[in-house]
C-alpha cells in the first residue's frame, strides 16, 4: 500500500493561518467542527486552475473555491509574471475592474493591493463596471495588463477573474502556462506581499475612460434611420444604466427597461440562471415587449459582455434569435450598409454557423474561423494589421463590432442591433424579414445547440475522455446522415461533417460543467419558401440529435 495522503485537517490548519477573510475562516472552522472531513478534503483536493479563461468557480473556503486568499495568490502570481516578462510593467501599470457580484469589489481591491505591493501601479474602478469598459481601458490607457473580476453569467454563488495582456486580449498559450506557474509558486512559498518593495499608487478609473468607450461605441454605427420602440433587460447586472445612456446618445428615444431586472442584484432573484440563453431567462423581457409594443428586445448578461436579441414573429409574438442569426444579420448589415473599403474582416468560431462565410464571400470580405473564445477570435486582426475587423462573433451571443474592444461586448452589439433594426424599419422591414432574405439567398441555416450538464467531481475528466474517444473512433453515421469528414480543430474539439451540408461540433465547456454540442443543417430555398426549408432542416437536425445523444451519454 502507498503512503497515506496528507491529512485534510493539517492542510485546513495551514489555510486558516493564512486566510485574511474572517468569513471563509469561519466557514472552514465550522466544517472542521462538524467533522465533515469529506467536504474539507474536497476543498483541498487541488486548486482552481488558472487558464486561458482565467479563474472561475464557486465561492467558499479552500483552494478549490474562489476566495480572498486564492485571489491574492493569483494576483501575486500575475505580478511576478509581469515583472519577469513585461519590462515596462512598473511604468504602464494594470487596470482592475469588477462587476456587481457578491465579493467582486473585495476581490478587485485585493488584486489592486497585491499588484501595488509589487511596485506595479493600478487603475482601479471605484464601482462596478461592464467588462467591455474594463477591457477597453487597457489599450486606451496603455496599460501592461488588465484584470476583470467577474463570473459573467454563472450562478450567484460563483465568481472569477479574467486576465488580459497589454494588447487588450485574453491570454493564450504559452502565457497562460507561465502565469499559472507563477501563481502556483506564490501559493507554494506564501509570499503575497514582497518585502522591501515600495508600493505603487492605486488611482481610480477616470470618467474620461468611460466617456471614451462611449464615444468609440457610438462612432461604429449610424444614427437610427427610423424611430423604433426597444425593450431592454440588464439581467440584474451592471449593464442597465450604461445601455440606457448609450441607446439615448445613439438617438433611440423609446426605450423600456424591465424594471425588476434593471438594478444590480448579485442574487439574480428573477431568474434561475442569469444567462440570457437559458430557457425562461428572457421571459420578462418578452412580456415587456408585449406591454410596450416594442419592436425588439435586448438583454445583456450580468457583466454586459453578451447580448440576446428578441424580435417579433410574423404573428407579432416575441421570438429570441439565435446567436448565429444575430451574427449573420450584423455581418450582412455591417458589410452591405455601414462599412466599405478593402481587407474588411469578419470572424466567427468553429462552433458557430456557416452563414457568415457565405455573406463575406458575397461582399468580397475576408472571412476567418478560429477556436472558441474571444482570446482566439481577436487574433486574426491582431496578427495581420492590414485587416480591418468589422465583426467577430461566437454563437453563444458574444459579438465584437469593430476592434476597439478585443473581447465580446454586449453593449456595443446592442446599440448596433438597435440601429440595424431601425434601418430595416425605415425600409418597411423587420429583422425577421432580413433573416428570411439571407436564407433565401444563401440557404436556410438552422442550428440546434444543446448541452449535457454534469457537476460530479470527476465530470471534467469524463467529458474530456469522451471527446477524446469520439475523435479516435468517430461514428460512421448519425441517423440517416452519413459522416463525410471528421477533424479535431483542437485536442478537445470534435467536428463531424455529414452529407447534405449538416455538421456537428462537440466540446467540453471551458467555464461550466457542461458538454456542449452544436448542430447545423442547411437547406436550399429554391421556391422562396423559407418556412418550408427551415422545417426540412429541423427534421434533419432532430434525427442527428437523436443519434448523437446516446453517444454522448455513453
Residue 92's closest CA among 67, 52, 123, 136?
Answer: 123
In degrees, rounded to 5, the angle at the alpha carbon of residue 221 between the alpha carbons of residues 257 and 322 is 60
Beta strands in 166-302, from DSSP E residues, in sequence order: 202-204, 229-233, 254-257, 296-300
Q: Are 77 and 185 in contact (CB under 8 A)?
A: yes
Distance CA 225, CA 404 (A): 24
Residues 146 and 168: beta-carbon distance below 8 Å: yes
What's the distance, CA 333 to chain centroid? 23
Asked if 352 is an active-site residue, the reply is: no
| C-alpha cell of residue 418 | 438597435
> From CA 52, how far away is CA 50, in angstroms rounded?
7
Q: Integer distance in angstroms from the first to the last C-alpha of the chain?
A: 33
- Answer yes or no: are the C-beta atoms of 404 and 378 closer than 8 Å: no
175 DSSP β-pair partners: none
**DSSP reduced 3-state for 160:** strand
Closest CA to 502 of 532, 452, 545, 472: 545
- Helix (H) / strand (E) element for 158: namely strand 158-165
What size, in residues, is the chain? 554
- Given a contact cutoff of 8 angstroms between Cβ atoms, the answer to whether 348 and 323 are in contact is no
CA 127 to chain centre: 21
Q: At 77, list the grid cell.
A: 502570481
Half-sphere exposure of 8 (CA within 13 A, CB side): 19
d(CA 413, CA 247): 11
268: left (phi over 0), alpha (psi -120 to 50) or beta: left
Choosing from 74, 104, 152, 378, the catalytic residue is: 152
Beta sheet of 202-204, edge-to-edge order: 55-58, 158-165, 145-149, 94-98, 122-124, 202-204
Residue with cell 470527476: 458
**C-alpha cell, 247:** 441607446
Catalytic residues: 152
Amino acid at each position: 500500500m502507498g503512503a497515506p495522503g496528507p491529512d485534510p485537517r493539517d492542510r485546513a490548519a495551514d489555510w486558516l493561518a493564512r486566510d485574511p477573510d474572517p468569513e471563509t475562516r469561519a466557514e472552514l472552522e465550522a466544517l472542521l467542527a462538524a467533522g465533515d472531513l469529506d467536504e474539507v478534503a474536497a476543498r483541498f483536493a487541488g486548486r482552481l486552475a488558472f487558464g486561458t479563461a482565467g479563474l472561475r468557480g464557486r465561492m467558499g473556503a479552500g483552494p478549490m473555491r474562489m476566495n480572498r486568499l486564492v485571489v491574492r495568490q493569483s494576483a501575486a502570481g500575475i505580478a511576478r509574471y509581469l515583472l519577469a516578462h513585461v519590462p515596462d510593467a512598473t511604468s504602464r501599470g494594470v487596470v482592475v475592474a469588477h462587476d456587481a457580484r457578491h465579493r467582486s469589489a473585495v476581490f478587485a481591491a485585493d488584486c489592486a493591493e497585491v499588484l501595488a505591493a509589487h511596485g506595479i501601479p493600478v487603475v482601479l474602478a471605484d464601482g462596478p463596471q461592464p467588462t467591455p469598459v474594463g477591457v477597453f481601458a487597457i489599450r486606451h490607457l496603455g496599460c501592461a495588463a488588465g484584470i476583470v473580476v467577474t463570473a459573467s453569467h454563472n450562478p450567484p454563488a460563483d465568481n472569477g477573474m479574467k486576465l488580459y495582456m497589454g494588447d487588450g486580449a485574453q491570454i493564450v498559450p504559452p502565457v497562460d502556462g507561465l502565469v499559472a506557474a507563477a501563481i502556483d509558486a506564490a501559493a507554494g512559498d506564501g509570499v503575497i506581499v514582497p518585502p522591501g518593495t515600495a508600493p505603487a499608487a492605486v488611482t481610480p478609473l477616470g470618467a474620461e475612460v468611460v466617456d471614451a468607450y462611449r464615444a468609440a461605441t457610438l462612432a461604429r454605427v449610424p444614427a437610427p434611420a427610423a424611430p423604433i420602440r426597444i425593450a431592454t433587460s440588464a439581467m440584474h447586472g451592471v449593464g442597465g444604466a450604461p445601455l440606457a445612456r448609450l441607446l439615448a446618445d445613439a438617438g433611440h428615444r423609446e426605450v423600456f427597461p424591465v424594471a425588476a431586472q434593471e438594478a444590480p442584484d448579485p442574487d439574480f432573484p428573477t431568474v434561475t440562471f442569469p444567462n440570457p440563453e437559458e430557457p425562461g431567462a428572457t421571459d420578462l423581457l418578452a412580456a415587456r415587449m408585449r406591454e410596450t409594443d416594442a419592436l425588439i428586445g435586448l438583454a445583456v448578461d450580468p457583466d454586459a459582455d453578451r447580448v440576446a436579441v428578441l424580435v417579433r414573429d410574423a404573428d407579432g409574438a416575441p421570438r429570441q434569435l439565435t446567436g448565429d442569426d444575430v451574427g449573420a444579420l450584423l455581418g450582412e448589415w455591417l458589410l452591405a450598409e455601414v462599412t466599405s473599403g478593402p481587407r474588411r474582416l469578419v470572424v466567427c468560431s468553429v462552433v458557430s454557423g456557416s452563414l457568415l462565410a457565405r455573406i463575406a464571400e458575397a461582399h468580397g470580405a475576408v472571412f476567418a474561423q478560429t477556436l472558441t473564445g474571444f482570446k482566439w477570435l481577436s487574433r486574426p486582426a491582431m496578427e495581420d494589421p492590414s485587416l480591418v475587423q468589422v465583426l467577430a462573433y461566437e454563437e453563444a451571443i458574444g459579438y465584437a463590432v469593430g476592434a476597439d474592444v478585443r473581447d465580446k461586448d454586449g453593449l456595443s452589439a446592442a446599440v448596433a442591433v438597435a440601429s440595424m433594426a431601425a434601418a430595416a424599419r425605415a425600409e418597411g422591414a423587420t429583422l425577421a424579414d432580413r433573416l428570411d432574405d439571407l436564407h433565401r439567398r444563401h440557404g436556410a441555416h438552422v442550428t440546434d445547440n444543446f448541452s449535457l450538464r454534469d457537476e460530479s467531481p470527476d465530470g471534467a475528466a469524463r467529458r474530456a475522455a469522451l471527446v477524446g474517444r469520439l475523435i479516435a473512433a468517430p461514428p460512421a453515421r448519425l441517423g440517416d446522415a452519413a459522416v463525410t469528414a471528421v477533424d479535431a480543430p483542437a485536442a478537445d474539439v470534435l467536428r463531424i461533417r455529414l452529407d447534405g451540408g449538416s455538421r456537428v461540433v462537440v466540446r467540453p465547456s471551458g467555464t461550466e460543467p457542461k458538454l456542449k454540442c452544436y448542430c447545423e443543417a442547411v437547406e436550399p430555398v429554391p421556391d422562396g419558401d423559407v418556412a418550408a426549408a427551415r422545417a426540412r432542416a429541423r427534421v434533419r437536425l432532430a434525427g442527428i440529435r437523436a443519434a448523437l445523444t446516446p453517444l454522448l451519454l455513453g
